[in-house]
Chains A and B, each alone.
Chain A
Amino acid sequence: GESVGLHLPTLSVQEGDNSIINCAYSNSASDYFIWYKQESGKGPQFIIDIRSNMDKRQGQRVTVLLNKTVKHLSLQIAATQPGDSAVYFCAEGGFDAGGTSYGKLTFGQGTILTVHP
């Protein structure tokens, strides 16, 4: 029979609106979380990160919120633009026993954001 692919959550917004993309993570011991943006035909690109000892971090037009109680992460994009249309992934990672970070990340399934002009 036919195989069934992942049904990615989708979010459609109008240009200029604010967008909120959500992610439920699995490992309560993760030390940090990263949001990535993947445009069609390209590799994922870093947007913003947050450590587990923080609950909010702001970047340029983006804010990440972390709620460890319910293992939930969100990415807020202000004044969304057509160029923000992409798949957004959350990823979680940890420091090793020596306290170093090295990029071994576990990715979520992704959310498709479509921005209508």
Chain B
Amino acid sequence: DAGVIQSPRHEVTEMGQEVTLRCKPISGHDYLFWYRQTMMRGLELLIYFNNNVPIDDSGMPEDRFSAKMPNASFSTLKIQPSEPRDSAVYFCASSLVGGRERTGELFFGEGSRLTVL
């Protein structure tokens, strides 16, 4: 399996522009998570989906952020308009639901490094 695939790996944009980050989870995984990593705040959960349905978006910083999962193999995280404080590495991760025989291991992509000037 190719693992979780994210694109773009690097994005540099100007303040006010729309940014779209993309993610392809591991085939067969039930859950998809978007995390943001910064030096200030570490790894923060933004939103997660179960079977393409958003379950908890309480970590989304504000209305400028939106995420969709139109099908089991694709998700997007959009920032519109972008601001310099959105600069961070955004990770997508997926997991497989399991019972008590296994813990909830997350499989991460390589991340999308966003710089907003």
Chain A residues in the interface with B (C-beta under 8 A): 3-6, 31-32, 34, 41-46, 49, 51, 89, 91, 93, 95, 99-110
Cβ contacts under 8 Å, B31 to chain A: 102-104
Cβ contacts under 8 Å, B99 to chain A: 99-101
CB distance from B28 to the nearest CB of A (A): 14
Q: Are B108 and A45 in contact (CB under 8 A)?
A: yes
* Contact of A103 with B106 at beta-carbon distance under 8 Å, contacts A43-B91, A43-B93, A43-B111 already known: yes
* Contact of A104 with B33 at beta-carbon distance under 8 Å, contacts A6-B39, A6-B40, A49-B105 already known: yes
Chain B residues in the interface with A (C-beta under 8 A): 4, 30-31, 33, 38-43, 45, 48, 50, 56, 91, 93-95, 97-100, 102-111
Q: Which residue of B lies closest to A44 (CB)?
A: B108
Of B42, B93, B97, B103, which contacts A49 at CB under 8 A?
A: B103
* Contact of A93 with B33 at beta-carbon distance under 8 Å, contacts A100-B97, A102-B98, A107-B43 already known: no
A interface: dominant SS:
loop
Cβ contacts under 8 Å, A101 to chain B: 97-100, 102-104
A108 to B40, CA, bound (A): 13
Cβ contacts under 8 Å, B42 to chain A: 6, 107-110
Please indicate which of the listed interface residues A3, A93, A99, A104 has the most CB atoms of chain B within 10 Å of its own CB.
A104
Cβ contacts under 8 Å, B109 to chain A: 43
Closest 10 CB pairs of A and B: A103-B95, A43-B108, A5-B39, A103-B104, A101-B104, A32-B103, A107-B43, A49-B103, A103-B106, A102-B97
Cβ contacts under 8 Å, A46 to chain B: 105-107
Q: Which residue of A lies closest to B40 (CB)?
A: A5
